[in-house]
Amino acid sequence: MTNNLELDTSDPRYSNVINILKHFNFIQGERVQWYQLFEETFQKYTSTEITYEQYQLDNHSLSLQSQQFKQQLKLMVNLLREKFKESNLANLLEKVSDLEFEKFKLTANLQINKIKSEKGLGDYSEEINTDSNRINSIKSEIFEICEEIQENLTDLQELD
């Protein structure tokens, strides 16, 4: 996984719409890996493989990575909108970014409620169920938008 995502607009990844969309696909792949690590960290903590302090440290690191993804997508959205006049594509990427951030917050909340439930601090089953359902809905929505972005990329490549 990439540890330092550069935000240099002279980078070839940002030189044209096709490259931006290809890089968006790459970042989405990185996010999948990132979410797997996020879930693995939670599983390790709940199975007592790691301490709470290690769990917090790992989550802090993962949160920083999430912020880097968000910054990079913001740059892509701005380039698509301002430099390349591709508002529709910019809106799609922006929507994915917003949904990914919402999914991240819900996942963190879900993990907190699961921990509270396991520690006997209350009944959070309704919240857990609601958050799980919303996360699944967001995943489906992200998938559909990414398919639309991929179709745009394919169309652009055929014209190139």
**pLDDT tens readout for residues 43-102:** 999 999 999 899 999 989 988 988 898 899 999 999 999 999 999 999 999 999 999 999
Q: Show me where the domains of the chain are located.
A: 14-159
105 near 131, Cβ under 8 Å?
no
Rg for the chain, CA atoms, rounded: 18
The tokens for 17 are: 């719409």
DSSP type of residue 122:
-
Local confidence band at 9 (pLDDT 50, 70, 90 cut-offs): low
What tens digit of pLDDT does each residue of 40-51 get? 999 999 999 999
pLDDT on residue 84: 95
**C-alpha atoms less than 13 angstroms from C-alpha of 108 in its C-beta half-sphere:** 13
What tens digit of pLDDT does each residue of 104-160 get? 999 999 999 999 999 999 999 999 999 999 999 999 999 999 999 999 999 998 887
- In the block, tokens 């390349």 appear at 84
- DSSP line for 67-134: HHHHHHHHHHHHIIIIIS--HHHHHHHHHHHHHHHHHHHHHHHHHHHHHHHHTTS---HHHHHHHHHH
DSSP type of residue 82:
I
pLDDT on residue 8: 60
The tokens for 71 are: 């910054």
**Which of 139, 133, 128 lies closest to 103, judged by CA?**
139
